[in-house]
Amino acid sequence: MDTVGLTLIILLVLFGIGSIENRISRQDKRVARVEHKLDLILDHLGLSEPEPWADEVGSLLRDGRKIEAIKVYREATGAGLREAKEAVDKLDGAD
């Protein structure tokens, strides 16, 4: 009887964790859509807001420290490695 109860508790916990992860994933996607729409609005209005990480990334690029610039970009934006590398390459002017 104890193993059955323990098994049920484990299954409920796993189900709860899966449910929470699903909600977080949906919220992340929703936030990304809102950020994209806001970026489109700002572009349409001709407004730009300097990114707080831009100075540090630019400084690292000028010093020839591209890998560190990619790392800073990833930490600041939450971007993946490929996306961060492409963005830093674009900032560096080397496509």
Count of the separate structural domains present in the chain: 2
Whole-model pTM?
0.50
CA-nearest of 48, 56, 49, 50 to 75 is 56
Report pLDDT digits (tens) over 15-64: 888 889 888 889 989 999 998 899 899 889 988 877 888 889 999 999 99
Please check whether residues 57 and 93 belong to one and the same domain.
yes
From the list 78, 81, 83, 74, the residue with the least C-alpha distance to 35 is: 78
Predicted local confidence at residue 65, as pLDDT: 94
Note whether 19 and 35 are same-domain residues: yes
Which amino acid, 40?
L
Domain encompassing residue 38:
1-49
Q: Do 38 and 55 lie in a common domain?
A: no
Q: Are residues 12 and 30 in the same domain?
A: yes
Q: Is residue 77 domain-shared with residue 59, that is, in the same domain?
A: yes
Say if residue 57 is in the same domain as residue 45: no
Q: Are residues 43 and 68 in the same domain?
A: no
